[in-house]
Amino acid sequence: MIPSITKCKRVLLIVCLFLFPLTSVVLAQENDDEYAALVESGKKVYEVRCLLCHGSKGDGNGPVGIIRRAERNGRVLEIVPRDLTMAVFRFRTTPTGCLADDQDILNIINNGVPRSFMPAHEKIPIQEREAVKEYIKTFSYRWEEEDPCEPIAVVKPEWVGSSKSVDKGKIIFKEMKCGECHGYEGKGDGPKSNDLKDDWGKQILPFNFSTGDLKRGSTPENVYITFTSGLDGTGMPSYEDSLNEEDRWHLVSFTLKLMGKLDKK
């Protein structure tokens, strides 16, 4: 009796060992097919909602071309759709040099980019947003070779916005020479502000804090992420290594003040 059970078990084991790789191959194939279908449906969403600006190859050369030409103090600024083929993202929560993570891309799709005329798409079904997120990854080889890094941790201390913290932030803003680009009063008119070019060779203007809203969104956490992660592709560096966490939060306090966000409280 006993030996026959053992034998039976052994046969079962062998059958299982043989079947396991087979089922995982079948499952992997099913996953691949599902992913391919998702990307295909993302292409359709892209063609309806994004191609006009970002172009059929994702290189930013859509039929719209230059979205707006603005003139400020004799400087002409052209706002153009982003070239997605380099997969260089400004509004990430990941450290400088890294790919954006899935949530970052969804946030961009949801909220659009204020001041740049990229529309928000939060009202379209989530499946469509997920699909188009995957589709835009087909524009750059980086997505095949790299994984996004871990997002930067953001824990806001209670004292952010206090007048003491604003005063400290003011000193740091000066010491870190933010004013060379952003202007000493934060009005976007620093001595370097006329000569800045982005990674695509286009003129770019530093943010004028007195005009209000950030492209990324203006919560204290977003401001913190902006100079911690840096705005890749714009020349605005990451201060993750050069400023400690506390000093970065003092800088948040000061820049919120420059944006008039503290007076309203």
The residue ranges that bind ligand HEC (CB under 6 A) are: 49-50, 52-54, 64, 67, 79, 81-82, 84, 89-91, 105, 108-109, 113, 116-119, 121, 132, 136, 176-178, 180-182, 192, 196, 204, 206-207, 214-216, 223, 226-227, 231, 234-236, 239, 251, 255
Q: Which of 157/237 has CB closer to ligand HEC?
A: 237
Q: Which of 160/214 has CB closer to ligand HEC?
A: 214
Q: What is the rounded distance in angstroms from the CA atom of residue 220 to the CA atom of residue 223?
A: 5
Is the torsion defined by CA of 184, 190, 192, 193 positive or negative?
positive
Tokens of 157: 């201390």
Q: Which of 253/255 has CB closer to ligand HEC?
A: 255
Least distance between ligand HEC and beta carbon 209 (Å): 7
Q: Which amino acid is at 25?
A: V
Least distance between ligand HEC and beta carbon 22 (Å): 38
- Looking only at the bridges linking them, the beta strands covering 68-72 and 75-79 are antiparallel
- CB neighbour list of residue 58: distance below 8 Å, 6 or more residues apart: 83, 84, 85, 136, 138, 139, 140
Q: Which of 3/63 has CB closer to ligand HEC?
A: 63
Q: What is the rounded distance in angstroms from the CA atom of residue 244 to the CA atom of residue 117?
A: 34
Least distance between ligand HEC and beta carbon 109 (Å): 5
Tokens of 64: 């719209």
Least distance between ligand HEC and beta carbon 23 (Å): 36
- CB neighbour list of residue 215: distance below 8 Å, 6 or more residues apart: 90, 91, 113, 114, 115, 116
Is the distance from CB of 173 to CB of 43 less than 8 angstroms?
Answer: no
Q: Which of 115/157 has CB closer to ligand HEC?
A: 115
Least distance between ligand HEC and beta carbon 92 (Å): 6
